Amino acid sequence: MSLPEDPKQAIIAAREYLQVSAIADIMGVSERQIYNYLSDKVKPQPLRVNELRNHLQKPSNTKATFTMIDLFAGIGGIRKGFEKIGGKCVFTSEWNKFSVQTYKANYPDDHEINGDITEVNAKDIPDHDVLLAGFPCQPFSLAGVSKKKSMGKKHGFEDETQGTLFFDVCRIIAEKQPRAFLLENVKNLVSHDKGKTFKVIKDSLKKLGYHIEFRVISATPWVPQKRQRIFIVGFRDTTEFDFDQVVIPDTNPTLASILHQSDEEPEEGYTEKYQGMTRVLEKYTLSDKLWNYLQGYSKKHAAKGNGFGCSVVGPEDVSRTLSARYYKDGSEILIKQKGKNPRMLTPRECSRLMGFDRPKNKPIKIPVSNCQAWRQFGNAVAVPVIEAIAKAMQPHIEGTFVPPKNNKLLKLK
């Protein structure tokens, strides 16, 4: 929506869509200051009003066409995709305090963020149209399962700390009966325990009365990263939704599209100006000790005939999957540098690699340490993939789907 030019009238108009607390967060002032603006005690600064104006110019931040809840929210990647088609989030659950910090910085909601979902009474969750959940993947991921096996620990549904959280999703679906849901997890969920785990998931959702479709999708048509995830869509009523309705771009982006550029504005903590150009800070370049270790590690495993080791890539390449362990040494994605050791991606580049923002566009806020930021982006979803799925689901959510006459929908790769 467009706000009136007059600052006071702009805030009055914004109150039709947002509570005072949310307006205060967006403008970066206290709630009392908002009331001072409205009572003409203080005149709002144009820059602060522009923050509010920019926020409400996004279609997703005006009047919503449906409501949704965000479970195991992380830093809000799934929510971000559904906001783009007009969803309004009415409930959020995320237990990690650092993820909550990033989430709040980018989503100044008028509702509190709930922690441990196992302690939430489903009856207390607001009614909603769509349930979104990227339930914990570590119990099912290839790396997670291998690590747990090596340590003699349980994995999958036998992992009581995380593996059974899927059933909390079922508990909420059973109580609230949303019109639709989207669940996301690692590709290995399909084959875990010889397919038994995924069969339990499918059967559980079907017993709740939902018609489900699922697909493993690679993010490479959207972002320069080899990242495959399974997406499960469910509808309470019979629909004609099919994953073939998800339109994929006919592009093959490379890392050049997300790396820091020499002509972009420097960002504190990530880049600096040097001889009239922007460059990445030296602290992201690997030390000789770490670089020598990673090269030796790669050679040792290459001699054994396996693929373990570091991956050094350039602007023309596509990266491996960014994982939550990236903060340890960056070995899965190291960027070539002329005449020096390779470097790690900055958190801003990780944000771009996951599709949260793009070079020269307004960036998302990253209020946490580099270590926490790397963890968060490694655990996140590729936002453009979610946007594409959400767009395909939208007419089915709203009941406006019309089958295409020529049926020339692009197939997922």
Q: Return the active site residues.
A: 137
Q: How far apart are CA 177 and CA 291, in angstroms?
A: 52
In Å, how far are 29, 279, 356 from 269, measured between CA atoms? 25, 12, 18
* DSSP code at position 38: H
Q: Which of 13, 139, 155 is nearest to 72 (CA)?
A: 139
Tell how far CA 350 is from the center of its chain: 11
Element (H, E) at 186: strand 180-186
Token pair belonging to 65: 């066409």
* DSSP code at position 202: H
Token pair belonging to 7: 């600052």
Element (H, E) at 52: helix 46-56
Q: How far apart are CA 133 and CA 6, in angstroms?
A: 40
Q: How far apart are CA 409 and CA 149, in angstroms?
A: 42
Query: How are strands ordered across the β-sheet holding 180-186?
Result: 113-114, 87-93, 66-71, 130-133, 180-186, 228-235, 211-218
In Å, how far are 72, 110, 156, 392 from 389, measured between CA atoms? 19, 27, 26, 5
In Å, how far are 126, 270, 296 from 172, measured between CA atoms? 11, 41, 49
Q: How far apart are CA 23 and CA 132, in angstroms?
A: 25
Q: Which of 63, 64, 92 is nearest to 79 (CA)?
A: 92
- Strand 87-93 with 113-114, pairing: parallel
Token pair belonging to 50: 């522009």
User: Residue 220: is it exposed, middle or buried by C-beta count within 10 angstroms (0-12/13-18/19+)?
Assistant: buried
Token pair belonging to 156: 């999958």
Identify the bridge partners of residue 131 per DSSP, sorted by sequence position.
69, 181
